[in-house]
Amino acid sequence: MAAAVVGGGMRRKLQERVPLRRTALLADFVVLFLFVALLARRVAGLDGGGAAWRVALACEAWFAFVWLLNMNAKWNPVRFDTYPENLAERGSIDELLAVDMFVTTADPVLEPPMVTVNTVLSLLAVDYPAADEKLACYVHDDACSPLTCYALREAASFARLWVPFCRRHGVAVRAPFRYFSSTPELGTAGGNEFLDDWAFIKREYEKLVRRVEDADESTLLRQGDGEFFAEFMDVERTNHPAIVKILWDNSKSRAGERFPHLIYVSREKSPSHHHYYKAGAMNVLARVSAVMTNAPITLNVDCDMFANNPQVVLHAMCVLLGFDDEIYSGFVQAPRKLYGTLKDDPFGTQQEVIYKTLGSGMAGIWCTFYNGSGCFHRRKAIYGATPNSSIGARREGTTDSLPPKEFENKFGSSEELKESITSILSGNLPVEPIVDISCRVEAAKEVATCKYESGTRWGREVGWVYGSMTEDILTGQRIHAAGWRSVLLETEPPAFMCAAPIGGPACLTQFKRWATGLFEIIISRNNPILMTVFRRLRLRQCLSYLSIYAWPVRGFIELCYALLPPYCILTNQSFLPKAPQDVFGIPLALFLTYNTYSYMEYKKCGLSVHAWWNNHKMQRITSASAWLLGFLTVLLKTVGLSEAVFEVTPKEKITSDGNGGGNDDDDDDKVDLDLGRFTFDASPVFIPVTALAMLNILAVAAGAWRACFGTAQDDLPGVSEFMACGWMLLCFLPFVRGLVGKGRYGIPWSVKLKASLLVAMFVLLCRGK
């Protein structure tokens, strides 16, 4: 698979696929054996088990199925090592592919402009030969905010100082807010000259931060550059024409200032057209960049995800160019790494173990998922082409092509776009880049209109796929179903870093959005099973996707299982074997083995037992809240009773000293906070877990009362149900504290009232049995 011979000699490899040792294989089968033993005992006792026994059988069968899916995903883990220093052997920079870099932002309040500015500056400063000719950065602003556009224009001006400074001194971290968060070491190469340079650039950055944070939208529109902001006058966020502005054209720059193009894009919006959230924005960026720079590779990052490794594009190129067959690198995904994280991951947002276990295992079957950001795509794969195909629009003298009418029906009517797509699909890319991109602005606006996609296959067979809030997973699945494979890009230092959601509302909002999108895929025509039967998605890839798509369904299943202990206590039944019985050891052994196995995975990843417990606790909370609500949201949407709403996760504000600050709404928020404690608001996402916490407290109290004061004739449930309720209360401890907490650490009364009504309904149901 690796390219080898050049000019009669061996060429040093650019990448290497390294198999990793699978140490937990025996433990996998032990857990599976215990699941089978438990299910066999359930089936044998169905006749006298009752309704709780049958519900337990269904839930435990689901858990066993999910365990099998995870075993498949983890079976043969691999790592890809990259060697960017070997790229120099290729002799000419012409072999290095051009890259169009996409940044998306949706809300200038939840995603402050300075967050986007730092991301953009880090991308403009990456190391790449002839970066000014081969790289271009496009920022899509879904809010059509003049503040964001102004901030990016100011960032372009600052980049004239920042980019040469980074290259001159070999700066390691090229997002200014992170770089200036610490002082340089006194022994830094360059001595006083470097320190003077560092102090000057930091002062200029602080000026940039003040200008951006002090900017006011109305002032910009009234007193700013009238011609520059004219297109923003009288626009509404959901009703405005397409805006494309070239904020930096490197062809017009002076010597020593050359860095990638910077283009601001805000697609046209109209109340009469669905805009398809981020997927729609990404398709606009794909088309706009195609008519302006048309790089064969694209990189997309979120507005809070900066380039942490300055050689990240070179590392990606090692994979993209490191195979003889392009099928092995349809896209290259960097793992999600967070900055600003709290010790021991109290909110379960880092997902480090998932990326190291499931991630490396999926890389072993060439099925690394597209995670929505930090991903390099072949533009050819985005256009829906199959690997090694060279099909374009039919021209005179060609046969391997689509008829012009079919080509237009697939991609749209823009002549400039059709020409650029033809060059990508045919592989006949121009040697020289477009010199004057300003002549393509009107063509870019044409492909950014609402009506452009009407009657085409954008959002279905071409581009980012519509129909799910997790458009990233769905788009990656479409690319895999076309026959492409994908690679996990792990570098040291990490390729990209993004902001960690902090607090209960922020992390659960993100998890709910993911669960909603994943369940939308399961019940759609894009189901991976159908992709395996009718397309080219391989069986193990299908099973790997199902292991992730199971999350929202797991929320409903885990809720049913979590209700069994209090139900049995309140109705004097049992769904778990009692201690004197021989089979009591099976569920106990499964419980202990599974949790020991889980802890050992965390220990292997260098994490503490406290981190393991926090993640285990948050999995139970997330399952009963975010995953469950995502599941119910899609069900209600399917029957026409609700509509899924895309919720933007708030990003931390970037301050001039490089630290993150919270989004303060009032004076009470400005006091020092214990960021590790769970915070609450009136969101419905907190209702199910609050109800479960109340219910388990009630069940333990009722069972204890009956055990102490009941008659000898009472058919009491076994100790297992009490242990299960106690374990659930430990997992829901943040909510138990929240029931008596105050302020943002206390559960609002509106949530407690709704949860109490659910508990009352459940108790009435139990009394009716």
Handedness of CA 375, 380, 384, 387 (dihedral sign): negative
* Residue 142: active-site member: yes
455: left (phi over 0), alpha (psi -120 to 50) or beta: left
Quickly tell me which residue has 């600050």 as its tokens.
Answer: 661
Q: Which of 472, 667, 669, 674 is catalytic?
A: 472
- The four Cα atoms 646, 650, 654, 655 give a dihedral, to 10 degrees, of 140
278 is in an annotated binding site: yes
Contact of 135 with 263, CB cutoff 8 Å: no
DSSP class per residue in 600-634: HHHHHTT--HHHHHHHHHHHHHHIIIIIHHHHHHH
Q: Which of 433, 463, 468 is nearest to 447 (CA)?
A: 463
Half-sphere exposure of 300 (CA within 13 A, CB side): 23
β-strands 496-499, 305-307 pairing: antiparallel
As a whole number of angstroms, the distance between CA 291 and CA 252 comes to 19
CB atoms within 10 A of CB 172: 12
Q: Which of 644, 614, 616 is nearest to 514 (CA)?
A: 644
Please report the beta strands in 192-279, taking only residues with DSSP state E, as ranges in sequence order: 243-248, 261-266
Kindly calculate the radius of gyration of the chain based on its CA atoms and give it in whole angstroms.
28
**Left if phi > 0, otherwise alpha if psi is -120 to 50, otherwise beta: which for 366?**
left
219 vs 231: CA distance, rounded Å: 15
- Cβ neighbours for 211, distance < 8 A, ≥ 6 positions apart: 154
CB within 8 Å of 376: residues ≥ 6 apart: 99, 297, 298, 299, 313, 316, 320, 331, 332, 333, 489
Catalytic residue, candidates 141, 142, 304, 345: 142
Q: Which of 121, 59, 105 lies closest to 304 in space, CA to CA?
A: 105
Instruction: Say if strands 135-141 and 99-105 run parallel, antiparallel, or are unpaired.
Output: parallel
**Alpha-carbon distance 35 to 690, whole Å?**
30
Residue 111 annotated as binding? yes
Query: Phi/psi at 726 (nearest 5 deg)?
Result: -65, -40
Instruction: Please say if 344 is a catalytic residue.
Output: no
Which residue's structure tokens are 């400074």?
165
Token representation of residue 323:
């195979």
Binding site for UDP-alpha-D-glucose: residue ranges?
111, 142
The catalytic residues are: 142, 472
Binding region for Mn(2+): 278, 302
Annotated binding site: 111, 142, 278, 302
